[in-house]
Each structure stands twice: as C-alpha cells, then as structure tokens.
Amino acid sequence: MPLIRLDRFISERGEFTRSRIKELAAKGQIRVNGAVVKKSDTKIDPDCDEVEVQGSRLSAERHRYILLNKPAGYVSSTEEHDGPSVMELVPPEMRTKNMFPAGRLDKDSLGALMLTDDGELAHRMLSPRKHIPKIYIVKLAHPFQSKYVDLFSEGITLSDGYQCLPAKVSSVESSETLAFIELSEGKYHQVKRMFAAVENHVEVLMRVSVGGLVLPEKLSFGESMELLHKDVENLFKPPDFNAFCREFSGVFSAILINI
C-alpha cells in the first residue's frame, strides 16, 4: 500500500475534520505505533501502522462511498436480472467486495445513485423514518400545469389507491415540459405514477440530489466519484427546495433538453 498522510487516514474514518486533526496532533493526542505524532501531515502506511486518536485505535478498514451518475439501461442491483448491473460502471479500484446500491433508480432512470459497503449508513439513509428528501428533474410529455403545485402538496392518490406524502413540484422557466419534484419516500415507480395520476407522463427522469448531496455537473453519465466522509454527512442536511430549483435549474435543464 502506498503511504498516505495521517490526517487523510483519520478523516476518512470518521468524525474529525483536517483542522481538528491538526489541533489534536499539536496537543499530542494522536499516536502512531504508540508514539505521539505532532504533525498531521506525517506519512503513514495504512496497512500496518496503528493509529490512535485520543486513546482509541482506528480500524485499518474503511467504508467506501461512491456517487454514480447512472445512465439509462442499467439495473440498480448487484446482480444482472433484467440488464447489466450498475456495479459494472464502477471502476475496479473504487469497488469493494460488499458494495451495493444504496437506493434504487428504474432501469430507464438517470442520475444520482450512491453505492457503498456501509450497511449501517445505507439503512439510516433508506429508513422511511428519516424521510431524506430526493429531488428529481423530469421531462414531461405535456406541459407542466400550475395546479400541480397544490395537488402534489396535498398528497397525490396513485391508481392503486396509495396516498402519497406531500411532495413539492416546481416548473422550470426555460421549458414548459421540465419540472423539479421533491419526494421524501420511494415507492415503486413513484414519480412516474404521480404524474400519471394527474394525466401527464414522465418521458425522462433524472435524480439530481439525495438529501444535501447534489449530483456534480462535471460527473457525466456512467461516471462515478468517491465521496468523502463530509459529503456523506451532507446526505442528512437537505437543501431548501425552492433555493435548489433557483440555483440548479440552468444546469440540469440544459442536460435534460439534450436527451
């Protein structure tokens, strides 16, 4: 294993920021192989060096968190059922044995999909009680109607009688058929079925954020990037929907218009 900086090793494993690690090191609260190390940029071997922070030993293993910009045609599971698995898109050096998609996007859906080997985080993230909101941009077959805002906020009833939780929708200025929708639940084909319930039809669906994790503009379809611990924590800090739509409508509508 190549040597890495001590502050990187510690920050990748949890709760400490690089500036906090610098402080702790200066105070003599970090040890490598039993010896106090006062400089947080010291290089260590993550495979054999033993690192302690404030008396607690850190594990050499760390969880991996990948954000994939899912293209159409791939299934959100570790196995190939009805098409190639999204796992095929993750470069081998980023993949780990127990990695799986933390969440689902339909085979024809696009956008933000997190993959991880951290079962506990995935459970926290997907728990219906957490209500982590997810924002999608959709291309509709028919123009967006302003009455959708109230209908969706009152809770749409799907064709099978399921009463959805209140959801937020907003039109996109540059196109009458593009809209953002924010949901805090994830039933089967939910966005598509919600628009079907108001006699519209979703032609393209792209997830653009999960909690406070926003799909970066630079990540093309099929590309993945490794997330840092602080990015993962952003999952639990969702953005304000209206501010999000204002800030990102240009970026994401430009992507959808070209599909």
Residues marked as catalytic: 106
- 139 vs 192 by CB, closer to ligand URA: 192
Which spans in the chain are helix H? Answer: 6-11, 18-26, 119-126, 147-154, 190-197, 229-234, 241-257
CB of 105 to ligand URA, least distance (A): 4
Pick from 115, 112, 88, 84: which is nearest to 99 by CA?
115
- 188 vs 236 by CB, closer to ligand URA: 188
One of 172, 191, 235, 256 touching ligand URA (CB under 6 A): 191
Pattern 94-133, ligand URA, x by CB under 6 A = -----------xx--x------------------------
One of 192, 206, 215, 235 touching ligand URA (CB under 6 A): 192
CB of 124 to ligand URA, least distance (A): 20
Q: Are 237 and 141 in contact (CB under 8 A)?
A: no
CB of 156 to ligand URA, least distance (A): 12
Question: Which contiguous run of DSSP H or E holds residue 175?
Answer: strand 175-183
User: Near ligand URA by CB under 6 A, which window of 24-32, 34-42, 123-131, 183-191?
Assistant: 183-191
Tell me the site size for ligand URA, rule CB under 6 A: 8
215 binds ligand URA (CB under 6 A): no
- 25 vs 255 by CB, closer to ligand URA: 255
Distance of CA 224 to the CA centre of its chain: 11
CB of 66 to ligand URA, least distance (A): 18
* Strands of 14-126, DSSP E: 30-32, 35-36, 43-44, 51-53, 56-57, 65-70, 100-101, 110-116
190 binds ligand URA (CB under 6 A): yes
Six token digits for residue 134? 């997810």
Q: Are 171 and 147 in contact (CB under 8 A)?
A: no
CB of 161 to ligand URA, least distance (A): 18
Going by the DSSP 8-state scheme, the letter that residue 73 receives in this structure is T
189 binds ligand URA (CB under 6 A): yes
Six token digits for residue 165? 């939780």
Q: How far apart are CA 167 and CA 34, in angstroms?
A: 53
Q: Which residues bind ligand URA (CB under 6 A)?
A: 105-106, 109, 189-192, 205
